[in-house]
Amino acid sequence: MKERKVWNWTFLGFETALKNRLVQDWFDGLPEEAQDEARDNLAYLQHAAIGEWKRPRFSPLDDGISEVRFSADGKTYRIYGCFWPDGAQQSYTFLHGTDKKVSNDTHGKGIAKDHLGKLKRKEATTHQFKF
């Protein structure tokens, strides 16, 4: 009998060289209902196989960036992220958080790509994300 793989994803947050935790600060400032929806969504993803990471909770984008989505208070929120650190198993890093104001958030994706570049160049690091 084939052994079933246990999934237990770790969620990290982008941290600048000056120790600013941008996504953590954004998350902590969300209304309680939005935080609860994010926690519910991430609790599902935390124990889901990678093949189960799909819409409406998750969507791959381009250039190594993806988004986790949730809705509350009549708004849709996005947390852009990536599977990082490179080579780590079951680890996902949040790069930028925003509420969805446009259908194609090129600005938000640009920020996320910039943050990923800083991680790759070791100009930034990560921290354990707190829900």
Strands in 58-60's sheet, in edge-to-edge order, are 58-60, 66-72, 75-82, 91-99, 10-15, 125-128
Query: How do the domains of the chain map onto residue ranges?
Result: 10-128
Residue 125's pLDDT band (cuts 50, 70, 90):
very high
Query: Helix or strand or coil: residue 131?
Result: coil
pTM of the shown model: 0.93
Residue 121's pLDDT band (cuts 50, 70, 90):
very high
pLDDT tens, position by position, 81-102: 999 998 888 999 999 999 977 7
